[in-house]
Amino acid sequence: MRPSLEARYKVTDASLSQFSMGSGNNLEYNLAANISVENPNKYSDYRYEKFIAVPSYGDEDLNEVSLSSFEVAKKNTSALTPLVFKGQKSVSLKGDAASKLKSGSVFEIVLKLKIKVMSRAGKVEIYNEYKEECKLKVPLLNSKEKASEKFESTDCKKYNLISAQVGSTSSGIKVI
């Protein structure tokens, strides 16, 4: 079996400095996350044309953060700019998510990544657009009950291939 040449994504650190219900069912949050991207491919750099991260709690998506395009060199791992999600959102949490919000010190947050990446094999450009999901258990920093909780690094998993395109380049013209 050949090793995978697909990029690997890992949330190396995450923390919440605020996570509570404000007035009018508004979830007030301040989440910071550090992500690393590994390119195991020894032949091609990866160029990211789209990288959007959206945290979700109790099936409610919070605000999204987009990164500018960037590259990860072949056989390299890059730490991305730290992502900060801060704001408030009107939510209607149900069951477990609502009760844990009132008494919890560690919260289950799903970080969804929407990615469009290009790699090159000779004169052929390969574009992939897909989604990754990172299931996080994020500690609340100002929690008095379990202030010693540590975030554990979490690998992300691909859950949806949106599209794949192959094109060739000749004289700087891309044909798809």
Given a cut of 80, whether residue 157 has pLDDT beyond it is yes
CA-wise closest residue to 126 among 47, 11, 40: 47
- The DSSP bridge pattern shows strands 8-21 and 65-66 to be unpaired
- The enclosing domain of 87 has a CATH number of 2.60.40.10
Given a cut of 70, whether residue 8 has pLDDT beyond it is yes
Q: 48 or 142, which is more confident?
A: 48
If you ran DSSP here, which 8-state letter would residue 99 be given? H
Amino acid at residue number 134: C
> Which pLDDT score is estimated for 171?
40
pLDDT in the model for residue 10: 98
Q: Is the pLDDT of residue 168 over 70?
A: no
Within a domain: 63: yes
57 part of a folded domain: yes
Does a structural domain hold residue 83?
yes
**Alpha-helix residue ranges (DSSP H) falling in the chain:** 95-103
Provide the residue range defining the domain that includes 45.
8-116+130-162
Q: Give the DSSP H or E segment for 144.
A: none
Let me know if residue 44 belongs to a domain. Answer: yes
pLDDT in tens, 93-151: 777 777 777 778 899 999 999 999 999 878 888 899 999 999 999 999 875 544 457 89
Task: State the pTM of this model.
Answer: 0.85
Establish if 174 belongs to a structural domain.
Answer: no
Whether 171 is covered by a domain: the verdict is: no
Distance (Å, rounded) from C-alpha 20 to C-alpha 29? Answer: 7
Q: What DSSP string describes 52-71?
A: EEEEEETTEE---EEPPPEE
Q: How confident is the model at residue 63 (pLDDT cuts 50, 70, 90)?
A: very high
Give the count of beta carbons closer than 10 Å to the beta carbon of residue 35: 25
Higher-pLDDT residue of 159, 54: 54
Query: Does some domain include residue 88?
Result: yes
What is the band of 174 on the pLDDT scale with cuts at 50, 70, 90? very low
In this structure, is residue 112 part of a structural domain?
yes
Q: Is the pLDDT of residue 43 over 50?
A: yes
Domain tally for the chain?
A: 1
